[in-house]
Amino acid sequence: MDDIEAFWERAQQHAQLATLSSYMGESVLATLRPPAWAFGATPEQADELLGLVLDGSKTATASALWDYEAEGEDLPVAGTLGIVVDSSGTPRALVVTTDVRTVPFDEVDEDHAHAEGEGDRTLAYWRRVHEEFFTEHAGHDKGFASDMPVVLERFRVLHAESSDAD
């Protein structure tokens, strides 16, 4: 059994996902392992942002809608589970998406910027670092635009584990 599968088994028990009843028997939450992914685009970002999730500062994230479209990926929806890994690929947190909305970059509000937990948690800081991120790490060919559609996602940690390095 790999690390992610073992983490998933522990997380299901801790978050009591396997005990949720389903009309057809075992809950689908107990049978389908969610995708594993890391925040950011670099190992340093993955660990920094994961640290903010684990300490409770980060309860939201933002992605370029154009990246989802370029990759042919579905947008997250409320209730989506995800396993967040660190830069080494070690699973560290099981999260559930609680809210998703898409707005133009220049209409992201102070509340969302604060929920992302980064820097001084202000909108000005959020706009500066996210413009830089969306410019440098675009997974599409449209570049950055102040009115580009941004997917704002809120999430909650259902289970977290420390690493040997913590």
Give dist(CA 27, CA 126) in Å, integer.
38
Pairing mode, if any, of strands 81-85 and 149-160?
A: unpaired
pTM higher than 0.75, yes or no?
A: yes
| Tally of domains within the chain | 1
Give dist(CA 3, CA 86) in Å, integer.
12
**Domain CATH code at residue 107:** 3.10.400.10
Q: Is residue 132 included in any domain, yes or no? A: yes
Per-residue pLDDT of 50-91, as tens digits, reads: 999 999 999 999 999 999 999 999 999 999 999 999 999 999
User: Which token pair is 104?
Assistant: 């133009």
User: 126: helix, coil or strand?
Assistant: helix
Q: What is the pLDDT of residue 140?
A: 73
Per-residue pLDDT of 36-45, as tens digits, reads: 999 999 999 9
Q: What is the pLDDT of residue 32?
A: 79
Pairing mode, if any, of strands 36-37 and 81-85?
A: parallel
Per-residue pLDDT of 103-145, as tens digits, reads: 999 999 999 999 999 999 999 999 999 999 999 887 777 889 9
Q: Is residue 11 included in any domain, yes or no? A: yes
Q: Is residue 49 included in any domain, yes or no? A: yes
Q: Is residue 165 included in any domain, yes or no? A: no
66: containing domain:
3-160
Tell me what the pLDDT averaged over the chain comes to.
89
Q: What is the pLDDT of residue 147?
A: 96
